[in-house]
């Protein structure tokens, strides 16, 4: 089995992650709590160490600004619902995942409106287009850091700077970048960054986080027990507990801690370069195959992630995905990838594309095998 579905969730995880989860569960799997017994303290220490490691990884000075969530979707829901009030307007892009577009669609019932800025055919959104869509009541700009369909990296620096100058909030969906591309929040003009722990960060499912810029106070999404200030009738104000009600996924966070150690060991630049090299080789190989259409940026390697969408003329994406899995043992994802507007943008709606997405656990041989497989399939289906 060759696994090229890392944009859905990375697999395998580093051995350290398996070990980290197992060791925590077996040895100290208690519920974190201040002033509790030693196992509870050990669990609390693990959670805070993981928060520190994640903050450091992202260039965040104060770890309290990193709030744990169960996935990127929860982080996006918290970020979006947490800042918007009736009458607000949002600008976003056609390359967003349903985890952005559906919350916005949903919030229309609360008198919140939004404008979707169309990307070009390669999935790129011009900053000027975003700027032109801003209205007098615009409060928030939401942009994916990179498309989960085309891998296109968005101009978040330009858009973020422009937003900051105008006092607009800027929320970035880092689902496809955190762990794959360098993300240094000490340099980026970003107010909110949502991301999962289980994709390029190589942690377990059930983990994710929202970075909240210093000074920004959101309405919490979940309210309840926080383990701090239990006597208060209302939700505590203190970061990060204000946004972390209920028992955290400590099991998953132990795995995420191990994953962050693994990242540090390999180094972000080595990880980025490896995935980029595999992606370029794959695109180059596929470009030679007649009747294969590759979507997204093809020339400028630095401006895309390790996500490649393609189709073979005359084959439905579902069929192609099925053949790759059944005949070649290659795991990819076919369809709309929870991003229907992105497929409308690149002209692949409603059937979608077949998406290949790479991780550091992939290698050149696997990429070449996939290119050969696509060549065979293209020849056969065209014959």
Stretch that binds its own copies, among 17-25, 56-64, 272-280, 364-372 (CB under 8 A): 17-25
3-state helix, strand, coil in the chain (%, to 5): 40, 15, 40
Q: Does 92 bind its own copies (CB under 8 A)?
A: no
CB 322, min distance to its own copies, A: 8
**Residue choice 92, 152, 249, 305 for contact with its own copies (CB under 8 A):** 249
Q: Map the footprint of its own copies across residues 117-146, applying CB under 8 A.
A: none
* Lateral strand order in the sheet of 138-144: 66-69, 208-212, 192-196, 169-173, 138-144, 89-93, 113-117
Q: Does 77 bind its own copies (CB under 8 A)?
A: yes
Specify the residue, 28 or 277, whose C-beta has the smaller distance to its own copies.
28
Q: Say if CB 93 and CB 345 are below 8 A apart.
A: no
Q: Does 82 bind its own copies (CB under 8 A)?
A: no
Longest dimension (CA), the chain: 73
Written as six digits, the tokens of 248 are 């955290």
CB 43, min distance to its own copies, A: 9
Q: Does 231 bind its own copies (CB under 8 A)?
A: yes
**118: DSSP letter:** P
Query: What are the beta bridge partners of residue 223?
Result: none
**304: DSSP letter:** B
Q: Map the footprint of its own copies across residues 190-229, applying CB under 8 A.
A: 196, 198, 204-206, 208, 220-227
CB 150, min distance to its own copies, A: 16
- Measured CA to CA, the distance from residue 59 to residue 221 in angstroms comes to 25
Q: Does 339 bind its own copies (CB under 8 A)?
A: yes
Q: Does 240 bind its own copies (CB under 8 A)?
A: no
Q: Does 38 bind its own copies (CB under 8 A)?
A: yes
Count Cα neighbours of 129 within 13 Å in the Cβ-side half-sphere.
Answer: 15
CB 300, min distance to its own copies, A: 28
Q: Map the footprint of its own copies across residues 41-70, applying CB under 8 A.
A: 70
């Amino acid at each position: 089995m060759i696994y090229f579905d890392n944009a859905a969730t990375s697999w395998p995880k580093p051995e350290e992650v398996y070990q980290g989860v197992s060791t925590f569960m077996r040895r100290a799997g208690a519920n974190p709590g201040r002033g509790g017994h030693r196992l509870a303290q050990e669990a609390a220490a693990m959670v805070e160490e993981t928060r520190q490691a994640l903050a450091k990884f992202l260039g965040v000075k104060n770890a309290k600004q990193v709030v744990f969530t169960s996935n990127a979707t929860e982080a996006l829901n918290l970020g979006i619902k947490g800042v918007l009030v009736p009458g607000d307007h949002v600008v976003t892009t056609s390359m967003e995942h349903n985890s952005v577009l559906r919350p916005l669609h949903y919030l229309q019932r609360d008198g919140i409106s939004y404008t979707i800025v169309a990307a070009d055919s390669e999935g790129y959104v011009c900053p000027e287009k975003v700027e032109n869509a801003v209205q007098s009541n615009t409060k928030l700009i939401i942009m994916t850091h990179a498309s989960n369909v085309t891998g296109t990296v968005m101009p978040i620096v330009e858009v973020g700077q422009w937003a900051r100058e105008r006092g607009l909030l800027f929320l970035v969906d880092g689902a496809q970048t955190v762990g794959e591309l360098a993300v240094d929040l000490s340099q980026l003009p970003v107010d909110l960054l949502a991301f999962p722990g289980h994709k390029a960060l190589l942690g377990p499912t059930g983990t994710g986080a929202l970075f909240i810029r210093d000074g920004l106070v959101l309405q919490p999404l979940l309210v309840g027990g926080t383990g701090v200030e239990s006597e208060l009738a209302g939700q505590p104000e203190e970061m990060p507990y204000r946004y972390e009600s209920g028992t955290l996924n400590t099991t998953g966070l132990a795995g995420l801690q191990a994953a962050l150690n693994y990242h540090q060991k390999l180094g972000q630049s080595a990880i980025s370069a490896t995935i980029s090299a595999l992606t370029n080789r794959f695109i180059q190989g596929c470009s030679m195959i007649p009747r294969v259409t590759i979507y997204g940026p093809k020339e400028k390697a630095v401006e895309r992630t390790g996500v490649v969408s393609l189709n073979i003329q005359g084959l439905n994406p579902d069929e192609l995905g099925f053949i790759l899995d059944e005949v070649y043992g290659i795991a990819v994802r076919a369809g709309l990838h929870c991003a229907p507007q992105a497929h409308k943008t690149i002209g692949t709606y409603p059937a979608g594309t077949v998406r290949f997405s790479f991780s550091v656990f992939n290698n050149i041989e696997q990429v070449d095998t996939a290119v050969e497989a696509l060549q065979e399939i293209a020849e056969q289906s065209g014959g």
